[in-house]
Structure 1
Amino acid sequence: MQKQKQTKENFGRKLQESSLNSQCKLETKALEQRVETLERELDAAITAAVHARSEKRQAEAGQRAAELRAQEATGELENTTKVFELHTWKSSEQSRRKSQKEIVILKS
């Protein structure tokens, strides 16, 4: 009887250990899956950050190019305005000289 009782106790302990091991394995597997998921999320976040930095650099380069084009256009516009003013002044000066010559001719 004693032996039978010990056998039952041993069986009970082994069953508990087995159950505990099984539960531990399940928890370990769940944790491993969670780690894998987190690693994939981290990889995705790193990839997104790299992509965002690349887009930012491209946007900054585009902005610099646009600012340079705006400066060039402004400079060209200023030059065109000055040339127009010069031509206008020259035309009015020629017209004034012509009028003065006509006045001199009419006076004589």
Structure 2
Amino acid sequence: MAKVDVKMPEEFLLRLSRLGERTDEIIPKVLEAGGEVMLSKVKSNLQSVIGSGTKYPSRSTGELVDALGLSPAKQDRDGNHNIKVGFTEPRKDGESNAKIANIIE
């Protein structure tokens, strides 16, 4: 799975620090809102490539797109907040959604 490490501008971090005690309450909400935007774009990109440019007609069931989702925002042991866009596993047929997405890519 791909990993993105986002560095925030100092001015933005300074504004965040002014939130004081509410930071731990607000950051997960911000991550979830941003994650929803990412999830929407990833789903759109996935739908646009499934069945396109193939030799045979698509047999897509929609299961791959439906399995795409967003994890809850969590804080790791280093104090970093994380959120993930990924697939629920496994599929009904026992195959890995991540493997199938990798093949399509």
Q: Does TM, normalized by the shorter one, top 0.5?
A: no
- Which structure has more relative contact order (CA 8 Å, sep 6+)? It is 2
Q: Return the TM-score normalized by structure 2.
A: 0.30
Q: Which has the higher strand share?
A: 2
| Greater gyration radius | 1
Q: Return the TM-score normalized by structure 1.
A: 0.29
